[in-house]
Amino acid sequence: MTLFGDSQPLDVDLAVIGAGLAGTGLAAFLRHRGFDGTILLMEAGRGPGGRAATRRRRDDSVWRLDHGAPCFSFSQPPQGLLAELWNPLLDQGIVQPDLGLVVGLSETGCLVDPPEHPLLSGPRFRGVPTMASVPEAFLQAAGSKTQGAFGERISNLRRENGWWCFSGQRRARSLVVTGNLLAHPRSLAMLGWPDVPLRSAVPLNVDPPLDAALAQICEMDASVRWNLMLELPRCSDHLPRQMWLTPEAQERFGIERIVLHRQHDQRLGLVVHGLDDGSPITPESQPGLLLKQESRQRSALTELLRPWPELVQALPLAHSLGVMRWGASQPLDFPLPTSLQWCEKSSVGFCGDWIAGSGFGMAEGALQSAVDLAAQLV
């Protein structure tokens, strides 16, 4: 993959909005299936990954923190087309089984069995050395005819004369959207758009399958997470990997889980997956909400970490790396049927963990939707 620059062609065969697991997995699997066209991946973040992104620091060259998903969760071992995409990563050592201890925490801060949850019910894997290693490997497999444009938030989207048109005079014959923001009414508040971008680009009744897909997407809801990131000093090796709060504890503390990520120098990264309290989120309100979430979560940690005294003792020394708002951490309902993944007339497709099928709402679902769409395109 190459980074997009002025010297590269502005017209491509396929544009993919989003370079998370679904977008990078799609590009890699298209190449695996023999697709020889040019691909442009456009991503708002500074690098690939989405849920599998890894936070780096300008002031600390060795720090790597998996601040989204701590592992890749599957409902069952990968099979079929998904195995064709996933198993080479295992063979190459890019992923390995995640055998880290998972414990539960009650509303009184006591150790209990972890709650039942789809993310804990099947095989789990970790990226080596970080979660971002997987999307990076997918981009490598996508080859030199794949371009990446990072730090790019879509501000212009049009459909003209058989082309999908973007800012900077970029055009693509076909478009794939891996998150549903550009097809969902929540884009109006989050991006300040006057209308849902895909709806503006293709008016009603031009493409009936796309109309059906957009109607379904409008009904979707997703959970929001506020992930607090902390750096802690060196601690012992006898600590759990994940601490999941029971439903009662989640209601009391507003936290889903706590994840520990040990660094190469034995320092400890701690990520709190905080639950949303329903406060309206706009570009203007978000900075204040980030500060509120950090204060609330840090206060809760003193009580939640009592089973591990050394962590409680380390909290006053913890260095905050801020809070990341994860706007659509997990889809909740109304998955998009696979029959609507590709809308031929408008040359637009969809993939992501919000597509119906095995692993809905998980890494498995994101990757499964990518290989299924690739099979339709090639």
**What share of the chain has pLDDT > 90, as a percent?**
79
**DSSP assignment string, 144-188:** TTEEEEES-----EEEETTEEEEGGG-EEEEEEESSSGGGSTHHH
* Residue 163 reports pLDDT greater than 70: yes
Q: Please say if the pLDDT value at position 155 is more than 80.
A: no
Per-residue tokens: 63? 């720090």
DSSP β-ladder status, 72-73 and 171-177: unpaired
Question: Cα–Cα distance between 30 and 241 in angstroms, integer?
Answer: 35
Q: Is the pLDDT assigned to residue 193 strictly greater than 80?
A: no
CATH class, domain 2-53+132-220+335-377, is alpha beta
* Residue 58 identity (one-letter amino acid): R
Mean pLDDT along residues 307-318: 95
- Distance, CA of 91 to CA of 84 (rounded, Å): 11
Local confidence band at 2 (pLDDT 50, 70, 90 cut-offs): low
Determine the topology of domain 97-120+223-330 in CATH.
Answer: D-Amino Acid Oxidase; Chain A, domain 2 (3.30.9)
Question: How far is residue 331's CA from residue 220's CA, in Å, rounded to a whole number?
Answer: 7
Contacts of 175 (CB under 8 A, 6+ apart): 14, 15, 16, 17, 164, 347, 348, 349
Which residue spans of the chain are classified as CATH 3.50.50.60? 2-53+132-220+335-377
Q: For 237, which DSSP code?
A: S
Label residue 152 by pLDDT band (50, 70, 90). confident
C-alpha distance from residue 309 to each of 236, 270, 304, 315, 376 (Å): 11, 15, 11, 10, 54
Every domain of the chain with CATH number 3.30.9 lies at 97-120+223-330
Q: How confident is the model at residue 7, as a pLDDT?
A: 47
- Read off the pLDDT of each residue in 199-208 and give the average, rounded to a whole number: 95
pLDDT for 10: 86
pLDDT value of residue 167: 85
- By three-state DSSP, how is residue 14 classified? strand
Spatial CA neighbour of 138 closest among 218, 43, 55, 70: 43
Q: How far apart are CA 162 and CA 96, in angstroms?
A: 43
